[in-house]
């Protein structure tokens, strides 16, 4: 009689993650959108097609657009995070800093605005946007400088600001975001294809909505500084601009109903539901019983991780949880890591010694915080492996050094640039009964 096969929950979790990532491939998403009757008609009637873009996935999106449109593209320019280039022929690719904006991004934003402004009424501007687009296109409104915007971004990130909060502030310090690129392109036709890295897919938040009506206000941006307790340390020019805007002394960003949006179409072509559903489908194909509780997982990473493990411990053998969303980290230490790695370390601490559980947390863009890892995978032996290398998990967590601990334990999830960006995937799995 053959011995029973012991199925590793870790291996199954990684297989499910791989399937989720494959579902986020931008090429079919872009080409399917461009082939839709309404968009194909608009493209066919345009004198020129101008391809612009910003975000971690925008180069891959541009490559997909080139495959579909070929010589119909008159000119193109997109800006991506360092290392996220894709091979293109007609669309120029630039790289810039992320998550903290830099001078390369400022130059790229100026070029995008200039190219949009050159469009005529019978042209079509095809804008390709994805997560990361906001940080990659700093266009500070005077008297705010790039250095001041960098300092503010760092402060908000360390304070655990959500992407919605970050973008509300960015839009009101910018000449590009919050519908202002649409203003530059008018009266040309504008078609924006967006990959959503934001819970709920709000168009005004994805890449700070360069062609979408902005529902946030100067007053709300000022409230973010107060809520995250960074107003006292924010650059004086930033606070002065937001205060002046809140008093009505500076024009607001374009709002819903503004005529500038009459010839603008914004389409979300991929979101977190796409990858979460693919993960669940792969789990079922593996003979598991996956359950999706939420596609809006958020909150402090270490706290959410503990709750996630509590739910995982209630799974029957062969049970699987697949959630989507994006947690946050309030940085208090000086270590390295990101929200997914901190989630994985906290989960490892909560399930130390449990042999039949695995938890994976990873970002679909392939990067998590200022590291080259997408996230981490934890099981009952993670803590022991890290301790064997001389590390204390509690000290590592307190120092926000999840990267260091997971690296020592051999539990980082590393994909390299994925050229997509559809939020994070969280997987918990209890090993199925042994197979005969």
Q: Domain residue spans in the chain? A: 9-19+273-430, 25-270
Statement: residue 137 has pLDDT above 80? yes
Span of 3-7, 23-27, 401-405, 429-433 with lowest mean pLDDT: 3-7
State the pairing for strand pair 264-270/289-291.
unpaired
Separation CA 58–CA 94 (nearest Å): 11
306-334 tens-digit pLDDT: 999 999 999 999 999 999 999 999 999 99
- Quick check: 155 pLDDT over 80? yes
Per-residue pLDDT at 436 exceeds 90:
no
Element (H, E) at 75: strand 73-81
Q: Which fold has domain 25-270?
A: Rossmann fold (3.40.50)
53-61 average pLDDT score: 98
Topology (CATH level 3) of domain 9-19+273-430: glycerate kinase, domain 1 (3.40.1480)
State how far the Cα of 122 lies from the Cα of 127, in Å rounded to an integer.
16
Report the distance separating Cα 92 and Cα 78, nearest Å.
6
Nearest to 168 by CA among 198, 130, 126: 198
Angstrom distance (rounded) from CA 410 to CA 255: 49
- Cβ–Cβ under 8 Å, residues 333 and 401: yes
Nearest to 192 by CA among 78, 294, 334, 281: 78
| Mean pLDDT computed over every residue of the chain | 95
List phi, psi (to 5°) of 27. Answer: -60, -55
Q: Whose structure tokens read 């925008």?
A: 58
Mean pLDDT (whole number) for 87-98: 96
pLDDT band at 435 (very low <50, low <70, confident <90, very high): low
């Amino acid at each position: 009689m053959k011995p029973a096969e012991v199925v590793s929950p870790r291996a199954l979790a990684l297989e499910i993650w791989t399937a989720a990532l494959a579902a986020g491939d931008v090429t079919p998403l872009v080409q399917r959108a461009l082939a839709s009757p309404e968009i194909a008609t608009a493209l066919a009637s345009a004198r020129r097609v101008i391809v612009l873009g910003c975000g971690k996935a925008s180069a891959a999106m541009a490559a997909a657009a080139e495959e579909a449109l070929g010589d119909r593209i008159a000119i193109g320019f997109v800006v991506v995070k360092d290392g996220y280039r894709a091979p293109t022929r007609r669309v120029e690719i630039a790289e810039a800093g992320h998550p903290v904006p830099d001078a390369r991004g400022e130059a790229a934003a100026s070029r995008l605005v200039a190219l949009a402004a050159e469009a005529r009424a019978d042209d079509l501007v095809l804008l390709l946007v994805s997560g990361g687009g906001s940080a990659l296109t700093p266009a500070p409104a005077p008297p705010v400088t790039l250095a001041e915007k960098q300092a503010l971004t760092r402060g908000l990130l360390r304070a655990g600001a959500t992407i919605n909060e970050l973008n509300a502030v960015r839009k009101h310090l910018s000449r590009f975001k919050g519908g202002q690129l649409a203003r530059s392109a008018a009266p040309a036709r504008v078609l924006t294809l967006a990959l959503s890295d934001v819970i709920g897919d709000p168009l005004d938040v994805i890449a700070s909505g360069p062609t979408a009506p902005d529902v946030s206000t100067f007053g709300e941006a000022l409230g973010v500084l107060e809520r995250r307790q960074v107003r006292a340390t924010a650059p004086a020019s930033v606070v002065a601009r937001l205060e002046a805007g809140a008093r009505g002394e500076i024009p607001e960003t374009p709002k819903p109903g503004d005529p500038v949006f009459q010839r603008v179409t914004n389409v979300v072509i991929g979101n977190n539901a796409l990858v979460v559903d693919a993960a669940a489908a792969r789990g079922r194909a593996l003979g598991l019983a996956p359950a999706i509780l939420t596609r809006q997982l958020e909150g402090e990473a270490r706290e959410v991780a503990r709750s996630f493990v509590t739910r995982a411990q209630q799974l029957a053998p062969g049970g699987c949880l697949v959630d989507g969303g994006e947690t946050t980290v309030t940085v208090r230490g000086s270590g390295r890591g990101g929200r997914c790695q901190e989630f994985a370390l906290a989960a490892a601490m909560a399930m130390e010694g449990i042999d039949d559980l695995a938890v994976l947390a990873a970002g679909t863009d392939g990067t998590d915080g200022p590291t080259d890892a997408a996230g981490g995978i934890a099981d009952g032996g993670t803590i022991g492996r890290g301790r064997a290398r001389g590390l204390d998990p509690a000290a590592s967590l307190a120092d926000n050094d999840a990267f260091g601990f997971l690296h020592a334990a051999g539990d980082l999830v590393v994909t390299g640039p994925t050229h997509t960006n559809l939020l994070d995937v969280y997987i918990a799995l209890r090993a199925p009964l042994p197979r005969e």
